[in-house]
Amino acid sequence: MKSVDNILFNVLVLTIPFLISYIFWLDRSELSPAPQRGRWRPLWIGAINAASALFCITHPFFAGGACSGFDLRFIPLLLAFLYGGFVSGLIVTGAIVFYLVWLGGSNSIWIVSIAAVLVPFILAFIWLSNWKRKAPKIMFPTLLALVSAVAACCILLIYRTVGGLSVSPSFWAYGAMYCLLNMMTMGLITCMIERIRDNAAMRQELVRSEKLHVIGELAASVAHEIRNPMTVARGFMQIISQSRVPEEKLRMYTGMVMEEIDRAQQIICDYLSFAKPQAEKLQQLDVSRLTQKLTNLISPYAAMCGVELAILIENELWVEANAEKMLQCLVNLTKNGIEAMPDGGVLRVLGYTRGSKVVLEIADNGVGMTYDQLQQLGTPFYSTKHKGTGLGMMVSYRIIRALGGDIEMDSEPGKGTNCRIILPLLPGENVHDALE
Residue ranges of domains in the chain: 1-207, 208-275, 283-424
Q: Which of 112, 126, 104, 127 is nearest to 70 (CA)?
A: 112
Cα–Cα nearest to 341, from 381, 373, 375, 385: 385
pTM greater than the 0.95 cutoff = no
- Whether 63 has a pLDDT exceeding 70, the answer reads no
What digits encode the pLDDT tens for the residues 263-309?
777 777 766 666 655 556 788 888 888 888 888 878 888 888 888 99
Judged by DSSP in three states, 339 sits in helix
What proportions of the chain, in percent to the nearest 5, are helix, strand and coil?
65, 10, 20
Q: pLDDT band for position 33 (50/70/90)? A: very low
| Cα gap 85→45, rounded to integer Å | 9
Q: From CA 412, how far away is CA 13, in angstroms rounded? A: 59
Do domains 208-275 and 283-424 share one topology? The answer is no
Cα(214)–Cα(222) distance, integer angstroms: 12
Fold (CATH) for 283-424 = Heat Shock Protein 90 (3.30.565)
- CATH of 208-275 among 3.40.50.1220, 3.20.20.300, 1.10.287.130, 1.10.3720.10: 1.10.287.130
Q: What is the pLDDT of residue 36?
A: 45
